[in-house]
Structure 1
């Protein structure tokens, strides 16, 4: 066989093999898509709306979660219920990590961060806001009343006044005294499970099966001026996809930001993971990327469309609240490290 015939035959053979491979690949892809479609259909059939509504939040914020759950039972939509719930802590003067009464930055200024995400996929956020207590509601106003997603500092504060928010001094006498005591040493170190980095992240599943969430915080105690953590950042502190579920984070924001963990959890649930498994994988990502993970806390909560929930953290001691069927319970989270 001469070279020309050999190349011609080889080309025809290659075309045949390629065509055969393509057919097989198409058949395999079609089967995979069919299986995936069937799996989604099967998942839909097991969702029981008698388990709705549900509200969950980070840490032991009993009153806040009860407010959200009771509001959901009245037929209020998920986002408004979440905002009503976190407002309890924003207005709680004894809570030094959220809202009015929160610990100030190193210059003695209380600055707040928050974000919200609706079941429609819309979201809004505010960062470094002074003089406004209910910043989760302000984040919703950014979402609904502006063409933007995030407003910062003085711009966010000025916008708040146009929306009817009142100016308040957020620095309480107790927080001021604690700040003045801190200035004697000016030493900063994250304290695991102590309220210098706690956040309230809340996820709500309403009677219609829609999911939304809110996350609000005063950030790290005695942080550098202008510091922003994960809490107001969509995808890190909070993420919701109404077809799948939602997740929220708490802990040391600098580390949570690096893996966009709330988004990751939702994507893992999209691929079939239970909320518990997804939270565990998100924490594992943080741990595997940081050899100093024993020096800080990070934690996640999550809920899916069926109302199933989960949580996971690095250090023991984190818990979350769950309101369902009129019962508001504190659930101790599993942890990567053992006590």
Structure 2
């Protein structure tokens, strides 16, 4: 058990309805939104609402994305974003995030961030205050403290309880392969017995209840764009694991002359295909956001037919769309000047 559990502080918060006031639709193709526009993966309405308010006030897509994702980090959206969720094998919550600015094509990212709540803001600090793009682990925490961020526990009574139940359930579910003792029945420590094969890699532990990320796109009145992601990763992951969310081109990507995309789902599969980059490139080739998102997913499903995930995308002219696989349907939230508040739409999955 990690030493972090010895210094846990337990904070009780009331349950929050993150989808109050949502207007759910079910469309497969979407019309032009006439930017400005904010859109994010999943119906995290409060995050979208904050991002839209910031965009309306400042016309700054970068700050819109940062503050929108920050809402989910603080509210612990679905327990898969921010502090107090998805404990790793040691019982510790760590955070991954990235942010990318369309006009400058600059980006910043952090992974395995410990003891700092504001992951996407640290990612922005990496972008704005270093010549680097990506910082990881305890060194990322050190940088964050230097930048004025407060170091504090990322544990919550929910994450502690989830970790203890996992231990008492013989460490199930488990991400280990071809080790001894049998990881489907036992906790570690483990030793390797033979190499894993590609057919073993589809992640049955990822589903609609553990989609583990928020991805957000904002486009302002001038057509300038930004993207961002934030996550606490897969629950019970091997300590040190990083998924697709903070990886540029995988979790999110923007080309200010073409469009932007964000992915969500099984990050260990998504990261092998750069689906956000592929979606943008397909839009460059003339596909609509929905067509481009579906094309990127079909490339994944061709290799991993049991894959679960989704993509949302926005083109330079303000069209938006989404596609998904492995779910019955995928819901996402957005706001624009044409909407009455924040809306939630859904697509049927391929």
- Out of 70, 73, 94, the position equivalent to 1:87 is 70
Shift of 1:322: 1.1
- Out of 255, 261, 266, the position equivalent to 1:252 is 266
1:84-119: CA deviation from partner (whole Å, max 9, x where unpaired): 001001001464111112221010111100011001
- Out of 58, 61, 69, the position equivalent to 2:44 is 61
- Point out where structure 2 has 5 or more consecutive residues left out of the alignment: 1-31, 174-203
8 Å Cα contact 2:34-2:319 kept in structure 1: no
CA distance in 2, matches of 1:200, 1:280: 19
Q: 1:334 to 1:253 in 2, by over 3 A?
A: same
Q: Which residue of 2 aligns with 1:305?
A: 316
- Out of 140, 151, 157, the position equivalent to 2:124 is 140
Q: How does 1:38-49 map onto structure 2 within 5 Å? A: none
TM-score with structure 2 setting the length: 0.79
Q: 1:94 to 1:215 in 2, by over 3 A?
A: closer
Report the number of matched residues: 284
Q: Which residue of 1 aligns with 2:336?
A: 324
Shift of 1:70: 1.4
CA distance in 1, matches of 2:77, 2:216: 19
CA distance in 2, matches of 1:284, 1:219: 24
CA distance in 2, matches of 1:135, 1:72: 20
Shift of 1:333: 2.0
- Point out where structure 1 has 5 or more consecutive residues left out of the alignment: 1-47
Shift of 1:255: 0.9
CA distance in 2, matches of 1:134, 1:115: 11
Q: Which residue of 2 aligns with 1:126?
A: 110
Shift of 1:71: 1.0
CA distance in 2, matches of 1:174, 1:258: 31
Shift of 1:191: 4.2
Shift of 1:60: 1.1
1:31-76: CA deviation from partner (whole Å, max 9, x where unpaired): xxxxxxxxxxxxxxxxx9x922100000110000011111111133
TM-score with structure 1 setting the length: 0.81
Q: Which residue of 1 aligns with 2:147?
A: 163
Q: Which residue of 1 aligns with 2:299?
A: 285
Greater CA radius of gyration, 1 or 2? 1
CA distance in 1, matches of 2:77, 2:101: 29
1:174-199: CA deviation from partner (whole Å, max 9, x where unpaired): 210111011112112414201x2321
Report the secondary structure of 1:86's partner residue.
helix
Report the secondary structure of 1:74's partner residue.
helix
Provide the aligned C-alpha RMSD in A: 1.4
| Larger CA deviation: 55-64 vs 320-329 | 320-329
1:130-165: CA deviation from partner (whole Å, max 9, x where unpaired): 111111111011011011000010111000011110
Q: Which residue of 2 aligns with 1:200?
A: 214
CA distance in 2, matches of 1:116, 1:330: 23
Shift of 1:318: 1.9
8 Å Cα contact 2:333-2:345 kept in structure 1: yes
